[in-house]
Amino acid sequence: MSRGKILVTGGLGFIGSHTVVELHKAGYDVVIVDNLDNSRPQVAEAIHLTSGQRAAFYPCDIRDRAAFSNVLAEHPDIKGIIHFAAYKAVGESVDKPLKYYDNNINGLVELLKQMNEHGIRNMLFSSSCTVYGQPEKLPISENTPLQPAESPYGNTKKIGEDILRDATFTGSIRGVALRYFNPVGAHEKGLIGELPIGVPQNLVPFVTQTAAGLRDQLRVFGNDYPTEDGTAIRDYIHVVDLAKVHVKAMERMLDGEGPSYDIFNVGTGRGHSVLEVIQAFERVSGKSLPYAFADRRSGDVVEVYADATKAERELQWKAEKTIDDMMRDAWTFQQHILNKTHILNRNNNV
């Protein structure tokens, strides 16, 4: 028997698709709304092949008031919304700030209004550790002071949290913001994963594409940081662990537990340097990765890792997968895409 119906905005994207699979596994029915701006309709089938269940999929923009309202009217039994739909490229947000404020802020406001109109109470919001900048003290807890945003993208996450918090003060909505650290990896079956459009900006897709021969070499941004091996440190978290925390946080809201607004860090609590990531990749793939040191990337911070004990204590969730799992699964997915692209190209279908 179904445990209820959850709407997932951006459910064909990287984190959304993995979360839909975990919702299915936990016994929920899922409705996906995604405008395909950064995903492909084939992901719906890949989700089905991964979880064994189908989600109802609507190719719709959440800012399209009439179309989105129709979706909600068709599903009057939606119990909660997990909101992934947003733009996420930091560099692009500097060049096109209004595009980011329009989608990430107007999209959120529109969603909250529609929740009120359709009597939906519970909302999970995708925030980011970017709201902390480079903090003075590590690890970063939820009480660590926030820093001014370094990009319009980062600002949309900070403002988004404030909007959600204020909306919960009316009593009609309950909200949880999840501050993700660095989500990487893929489902172990290799059918869903991270498929950036164009040249990847983030480390792990660049690593796997380099190993696959699609890029000449990885540039390691900075080897003169004050860390043990000189490269910057992040808290990489496996996307399946990340997907699972959404199920836990939603269940807590559906059970009526917790405050009307809450925030959780979602990380492993462990930092890995860029060189450690490369070594893990080489270990699990058996391939040697061509890389060269380059200048620091502007805007990068030295070291970031989470204190994730609040989620462990209050949501009974803890990241389980290791950096080797993350690299192995990202590599499986990369190999899967290569094979698939080959087939699709042959059929002249891409």
Task: Kindly state whether residue 305 participates in binding ligand NAD, applying the rule CB under 6 A.
Answer: no
Does 16 bind ligand NAD (CB under 6 A)? Our answer is yes
Peptide bond into 145 cis (omega under 30): no
**153 catalytic residue (yes or no):** yes
Three-class HEC string of 195-244: CCCCCCCCHHHHHHHHHCCCCCCEEEECCCCCCCCCCCEECEEEHHHHHH
State in angstroms the smallest separation of the CB of 80 from ligand UD1: 24
| CA end-to-end span of the chain | 39
Least distance CB 294 / ligand NAD (angstroms): 21
Report, in Å, the least distance between residue 39 CB and ligand NAD: 3
Considering only residues 173 to 212 of the shown chain, the ones binding ligand NAD according to CB under 6 A are: 180, 183
Of 28, 58, 100, 153, catalytic: 153
CB 280 within 8 A of CB 324: yes
15 binds, among ligand UD1, ligand NAD, none (CB under 5 to 8 A by kind): ligand NAD
Residue closer to ligand NAD (CB basis): 168 or 182: 182
Which partner in ligand NAD, ligand UD1, none is near 300 (CB below 5 to 8 A by kind)?
ligand UD1
- Phi, psi at residue 179, to the nearest 5°? -95, 100
The DSSP bridge pattern shows strands 29-33 and 122-128 to be unpaired
Between residues 139 and 267, which has the closer beta carbon with respect to ligand NAD? 267
Task: Calculate Rg over the CA atoms of the chain.
Answer: 20
Using the minimum distance from each CB to ligand UD1, give the nearer residue, 25 or 287: 287
Between 54 and 65, whose beta carbon lies closer to ligand NAD?
65
- Two structure tokens written together for 220: 């390691």
Among 50, 93, 122, 126, binds ligand NAD (CB under 6 A): 126
> By three-state DSSP, how is residue 116 classified?
helix
Q: How far apart are CA 94 and CA 76, in angstroms?
A: 39
d(CA 33, CA 29): 14
Contact partner, 234, from ligand NAD, ligand UD1, none, Cβ < 5-8 Å per class: ligand UD1
Centre a 10 Å sphere on the Cβ of residue 346 and count the other Cβ atoms it contains.
9
Beta strands 174-180; 182-184: pairing state: unpaired
Site for ligand NAD in 92-111 (CB under 6 A): 103, 107
User: Should residue 285 be labelled a site residue for ligand NAD when binding is judged by CB under 6 A?
Assistant: no
103 binds, among ligand NAD, ligand UD1, none (CB under 5 to 8 A by kind): ligand NAD
Q: Which positions from 242 through 281 interact with ligand NAD, judged by CB under 6 A? A: none
Residues that bind ligand NAD (CB under 6 A): 9-10, 12-16, 33-39, 61-63, 84-86, 88, 103, 107, 126, 128, 180, 183
